[in-house]
Structure 1
Amino acid sequence: MFGQPTSPRFRRAALASALSAGLVFSLAACGGDDSDSEGGTDASASAIDCAPYTKFGDIKGKTVTIYTGIVTPEDTPHKESYKPFENCTGATIKYEGDKSFETQILVRAKAGNPPDLAIVPQPGLVKQLVATGKAKEAPAETAANVDKFWDKAWKAYTTIDGKFYGAPLGASVKSLVWYSPAEFKDSGYTVPTTLTELQALTDKIVADGKKPWCAGISSGDATGWPITDWMEDFMLRTAGPDTYDKWVNHTIPFNGPEATTALDAVGAYLKNDKYVNGGLGDVKSIATTTFQDAGLPITQGTCSLHRQASFYAANFDKSTKVAEDGDVFAFYLPGKDADTKPVLGAGEFVVAFADRPEVKAFQTYLSSDTWANTKAKLSSGWVTANKGLDPNNLTNPIDKLAGTILLDPKATFRFDGSDQMPAAVGSDAFWKQATNWVTGQDTKTTLDNIEKAWPK
């Protein structure tokens, strides 16, 4: 999803777009009904309905600036996806990618020199931008698209003091476990559909003489973040989405009994030398193994399971086939039972700093099913939670898996918790204490220390 920015939060999000420089097609002029061809084919035959944008008046010759952390080469599919809008309206989209986006967008907003639009990767950053007083409420047309095409949870992330500011854009699924389809077939393993079955699978692999799980949390200044994802996934599963929301928003303590249960559930896997760290070492090796390298032992046959997001596909060698019948693939990290489907993920939001007609028109385009399907055809390694997306337009198997999970009517999506928490917690104490925890610190001390870091 994101380019290669330098801040720790962006570095982990950046992997989401590591493949997005895939197939790039030229788009024909707009007009008529949608005649999109099947995903992965030439999109030049695509045509879109221009009518939704005529209501904003004549914007021919107008320019809209959009600022983002998505840089070369991942920016190419984005720029290409804007062409139908430009052809329809005669407006020009001026794209600016910047590795220092996260810092600079706040500087520019506070200085009164923001872009027309910004692609913002965290709800917390959206709140900071709104607090500058420079962000503009999203137009009614954009809000209507979000109401139509997204789960209501997405709209809530950028609704601040009763006003809606940012339509969702791309998304990633974090509730995944990577595995070897060949190993599963040869060993008679089956994909688990409940947490109990996941535990049974883990024990079966141990009985077969292997350490089933591999993990790594080393990530420079952001070391520890993969454990925050583990804990958030288990908070969703052991405490439920409503309690998860209370925990993220600190209406219940960070160190309460719900969090204790979740972290102990993670520890049952990650702090068990019988279970980890396949092909890499013991429990303590988790802290020194980079998150990029952590799942690679699956392809070497020394590890069977690795919990990591959909963007992890970018870390495998280009010769590795990532598919259900390939060298490596992923399955949904199951819930407590087969009927519940909590999904942890992340994504981006488009926030405006101008309310000119051309800006509103482009915001509305980016929030539409039209844009989502256009972008899907142009990018490998990109997916969205837009319900208007035709999964057939996604160009590779892992994208289709992520898209299917996001669009499942049974799915209950929740955004990455640490990305919503104050920086002193989400990108500082949580990461550091998680690292201390996996290297020997007990659960109570870990959670107590994070609770103490919460701003008063």
Structure 2
Amino acid sequence: MRARRSRVLRVAAPAAALVLALAACQNGSGDEASGPVPTLTGDCAKYQAYAGHAGKKVTMFASIISPESDSLQKSWAEFSSCTGITISYEGSNDFESQLPVRVQGGNAPDLTPIPQPGLLKQMVQTGKVVKPPQQTVANVEKYWAPSWKTYGSVDGTFYAAPMSSNMKSLVWYSPKAFADAGYTVPTTWADLMTLSAKIASDGKAKPWCGGIGSGTATGWPATDWLEEVVLGQHGGDVYDKWISHQIKFDSPEIRQSMETVAGWMLNPAWVNAGFGDVKTIATTTFQDAGKPILSGKCYMLQQASFYRAQWPAGTTIGPDKAVFAFYLPPVNPAIKTPVVGGGEFVTAFADRPEVQAVQNYLSSAEWASSRVKTAPGWVSANNGVDIALYTDPLDALSAKALSDTSGTFRFDASDLMPAAVGAGQEWKSMTAWFAQGQSIDKVVKDIDAAWPE
């Protein structure tokens, strides 16, 4: 993640809360919400629009867990200390399954960043999602492309502001290992497949490693592989019709893309170095999937920009460092710069003033800029972020691709599909494809059968 995804799931982490006293930069004392709004001074003055809620707590539940959640909490630490609003954060590996349970059980968080528009729609259908305040709406209209507002809408009504964005069309590799072996970064799909065959033939290591394990969200990386191929093989029109089920999984186009994925990531001669055979892709967590690159057991991993947070501490990242990434070229070179991306959308289940203050802040360019500063590897499609803040070459590559208006950008397909499919049967069936060797015929028919009437 999506997280996922982004589905950005990690090892389990306990709930963490920023329990912060009102900072010295805020005048006044006690519960400011019930009295005059205090004047913030010094470094806190920039948070004046959010003042007046000292001592209040806002709960947040999400799929983002350590280590990425650590930098996430740093990104709003100053906001919390200056305003006196405590953001009590909890991340979970079982977010997608637990959120509906909590909402239906009357234990909904105040805010939750949802990485799947399909899950957002499911939550809206409960009748418990609260529409965002007007300032949040204004921020989204100012800083984000119209498509992002659409992704945060259900049946034409806007509910959730985009919080983050990520680029998924990347391949991680070791520049040093490539140089030592005499390999060059491929710029076409044909070159990528030729390189994969050569690496396998050389016999020093497998070309690809992979893992789709992710708790109750197991399977999502495999859906990403299919999405990359569908968009890069057939283009945006087929991709859009596939999302809406006008084109079914059991169609010539999607079957062809399934065959392409099979020749790539289910190829026993090409995967899964460091772990075992093809079936081990289903039991290897996506967090661990890239580690064999560091030990020289495999050369490449297809994963998103957010995978940066999964490399072991101390791993250097750059064009001449331990690891880096290159753009995953399209299967069909005629398709202009296809990019699959994802993101999270801040959804509210409460409309208390302090909750709305946090919503407004998280939809601002100021918060997005703070997040960029605290989390190398995190990029945003928020156009209020100064591109100069992306000092890392990989971040700059991702930000440029996400903001390329001439390219073919599409949001993660499974995140846009109904939750019963995109966050349910598709994960299950794609996992069975890898773990049990289920046929493409069964996989596509089972997924189509799960589509809501």
* Coarse TM-score class (shorter-chain normalised): 0.7 to 0.9
Query: Alpha-carbon deviation of 1:154?
Result: 1.8
Q: Following the alignment from structure 1 to structure 2, what is the Cα–Cα distance between the partners of residues 321 and 442? A: 40
Q: Match of 1:305, SS?
A: strand
Q: Per-residue deviation at 1:111? A: 5.8
TM-superposed CA distance for 1:219, in Å, is 4.5
Contact kept, 8 Å, 1:64 with 1:116, in 2: the verdict is no
Q: 1:24 maps to which residue? A: none
Structure 1 CA distance, aligned partners of 2:97 and 2:216? 16
Asked if the contact 2:96/2:217 (under 8 Å) is kept, the reply is no
- Matched residue, 1:36: none
Higher deviation after alignment, 395-404 or 167-176: 395-404
**Alignment partners' CA distance in 2, 1:109 and 1:288:** 30
Q: 1:161 to 1:345 in 2, by over 3 A?
A: same
CA contact (8 A) 2:2 2:220 kept: no
Q: Is the 8 A contact 1:241 1:412 kept in 2?
A: yes
Q: 2:32 aligns to what?
A: none
Does structure 2 conserve the Cα–Cα contact (< 8 Å) formed by 1:376 and 1:395? Answer: no
Pick aligned residue for 1:227 from 208, 222, 225: 222
Using the alignment, how far apart are the partners of 2:219 and 2:81 within structure 1? Answer: 46
Inter-partner Cα distance in structure 1 for 2:145 and 2:216: 33
Q: Residue 321 of structure 1 aligns with which residue?
A: 316
Partner of 2:445: 448
Pair 1:108–1:233, CA change in 2 (3 A): same
The superposition leaves residues 272-323 of structure 1 with CA deviations (integer Å, 9 ceiling, x where unpaired) of 3333334444434434444333322222223222112223334433243222
Q: After TM superposition, list the pairs within 5 Å mapping 1:352-391 onto structure 2.
A: 352-355=348-351, 358-391=354-387
| Maintained 8 Å contact 2:117/2:415 | yes
TM-score by length of 2: 0.80
Pick the aligned partner of 2:292 from 291, 297, 300: 297
Partner residue of 1:161 out of 130, 155, 165 = 155
Are the counterparts in 2 of residues 298 and 305 from structure 1 also a CA contact under 8 Å?
Answer: yes
Taking structure 1 as reference, are residues 112 and 312 closer, same or farther at Cα in structure 2, changes over 3 Å only?
A: closer
2:410 corresponds to which residue? 414
Letter in 2 for 1:152: P
Contact 1:212/1:303 (<8 A) preserved: yes
Say if 1:116 and 1:352, in contact at 8 Å, map to a contact too.
Answer: yes
Q: Are the aligned partners of 1:15 and 1:314 in contact in 2 as well (CA < 8 Å)?
A: no
Q: Secondary structure at the match of 2:128?
A: coil
Distance (Å, rounded) in 2 between the aligned partners of 1:170 and 1:369 = 11
Separation in structure 1 between the aligned mates of residue 241 and residue 182 of structure 2, nearest angstrom: 41
Structure 1: how far apart are the matches of 2:259 and 2:95? 36
Taking structure 1 as the reference length, what is the TM-score of the superposition?
A: 0.79
Q: Where do 5+ consecutive residues of structure 2 fail to align?
A: 17-22, 27-41
1:183 has 2:177 as partner: yes
Contact 1:193-1:338 at 8 Å conserved across structures:
no
- Encode CA deviations 1:23-55: one digit per residue, 9 max, x unaligned: xxxx9969xxxxxxxxxxxxxx9777557x38x
Q: Distance in 1 between matches of 2:421 and 2:446?
A: 10
In the alignment, which residue of structure 2 is the partner of 1:37? none
Q: Please say if residues 2 and 16 of structure 1, whose CA atoms lie closer than 8 Å, have aligned partners that are also in contact.
A: no
CA distance in 2, matches of 1:377, 1:111: 37
Q: How does 1:93-172 map to 2 (within 5 A)?
A: 93-97=86-90, 99=92, 102=96, 105-107=99-101, 109-110=103-104, 114-172=108-166
Query: Which amino acid in 2 is paired with 1:403?
Result: A
Q: What RMSD, in angstroms, separates the aligned Cα atoms of the two structures? A: 3.7
1:333 positional shift: 0.9
For these two proteins, the number of residue pairs brought into alignment is: 425
5 Å-filtered alignment, 1:262-277, equals 262-277=257-272
Shift of 1:442: 3.0
| Contact 2:6/2:342 (<8 A) preserved | no
- Residues 313 and 398 in structure 1, CA contact (< 8 A), matched pair in contact too: no
Partner of 1:14: 9
Conserved? CA contact 2:69–2:91, under 8 Å: no
Amino acid aligned to 1:131: Q
Higher mean C-alpha deviation, range 366-375 or range 389-398: 389-398
Verify the 8 A CA contact 1:180 1:328 in the aligned structure 2: yes
For residue 35 of structure 1, what is the aligned residue in structure 2? none
Match 1:251 to one of 233, 246, 249: 246
